[in-house]
Amino acid sequence: MALALDRIRVGSAPDSWGVWFPDDPQQVPWERFLDEVTEAGYSWIELGPYGYLPTDPARLTDEVTKRNLKVSAGTIFCGLHRGPSEWDSTWEQVSNVAALTQAMDAKHLVVIPSFWRDDKTAEILEAPELTTEQWRNLTTGMERLGREVKDRYGLDIVVHPHADTHIDTEEHVERFLDSTDSDAVNLCLDTGHYAYCGGDSVKLIETYGERIGYLHLKQVDPEILADVVKNEVPFGPAVARGVMCEPPAGVPELGPVLTAAQKLGVDLFAIVEQDMYPCEPDKPLPIAVRTRKFLRSCGA
């Protein structure tokens, strides 16, 4: 008999509707996203890029409430490995997103490290490996961010390993976790990005379970990924090729990931994020409906 996944709260995000930017003519309007995510059977959402959904708390509350939706998290990008000079610009972004996240009664801020190569042009922006000093800047900066976000907004930060960033592979993720304080910062494990970078999500959950604070559910197509890795294709064009695919067609298997997460004995969000930028406007909803049905078959 399958383990009842009663500690897992499933949701979706604008990303699964092809939304990467606050405003882009290739993206569906936010009203359509909210209507369709409800139609697909989800009750939890993330805010997505700041400015895509209304940023006025009263208006956003009205829009989500009338659709019986709730918000699980906001998201920011930051480059704290560059040192203290990054703090002010980071905090300016954080304060906007965290205030809205708090106003929506969410409890998490997903923090994504900045990209070392441009996800559209493939231009190399920085070295893909950090120096010892940069690692120290990254870990101490994230701890400071975690403590200040908690103190000021009551939110927990969860750092999101991501392709084409400095926190990507198993080695880098473990180094980051081993170098940071769990009281200040934990992990948003994105199953797709971790597989994209060669990691094993079940192993990570079983080894660093106390550091897993949030989940993003996605899968990668192994054949497309092999070509992406072989030809050093940057993340943006890889997504356009379909490297992130509809479950259960890719890896990792999500059933064992959810079972391992359930065994941690804590409440966890598991937010579906199938990167599809850009995509035709009619494409996301049928995929979202099928994905929700698939996750129910896993017990979630």
Per DSSP, what are the bridge partners of residue 286? none
Residue with tokens 């979630």: 300
Count Cβ atoms below 10 Å from residue 246 Cβ, excluding itself. 19
User: Residue 136: what pLDDT?
Assistant: 98
In a domain, 85, yes or no: yes
Determine, yes or no, domain membership for 1.
Answer: no
Query: What are the phi and psi torsion angles at 159 (to 5°)?
Result: -85, 135
Structural domain of 85: 8-298
Q: What integer is the mean pLDDT of 144-159?
A: 98
| Domain CATH code at residue 170 | 3.20.20.150
Q: How confident is the model at residue 124 (pLDDT cuts 50, 70, 90)?
A: very high
Task: Let me know: does 139 contact 80? Beta carbons within 8 Å.
Answer: no
> pLDDT tens-digit profile of 172-190?
999 999 999 999 999 999 9
Q: pLDDT at position 120, please?
A: 76
Q: Cβ neighbours of residue 108 under 8 Å, at least 6 residues apart?
A: 72, 73, 74, 101, 155, 156, 157, 158, 188, 213, 214, 269
Confidence at residue 122, expressed as pLDDT on a 0 to 100 scale = 80
- Look-up: residue for tokens 């359509």? 32
Query: ω before 284 within 30° of 0 (cis)?
Result: no
Residue 1 pLDDT grade (very low, low, confident, very high; cuts 50, 70, 90): very low
Judge whether 16 lies within some domain. Answer: yes
Distance (Å, rounded) from C-alpha 71 to C-alpha 210? 23
Q: Kindly indicate the confidence band of residue 2, based on its pLDDT and cuts at 50, 70 and 90.
A: low
Q: Is 251 a domain residue?
A: yes
Residue 112 tokens, joined: 């994504």
Total domains in the fold of the chain: 1
- C-beta atoms surrounding 296 within 10 Å: 12
Encode pLDDT of 208-253 as tens digits. 999 999 999 999 999 999 999 999 999 999 999 999 999 999 999 9
pLDDT at 261 over 90: yes
Classify residue 84: in a domain, yes or no: yes
Asked if the structure places residue 3 within a domain, the reply is: no
* Cβ partners under 8 Å of residue 172, min gap 6: 161, 166
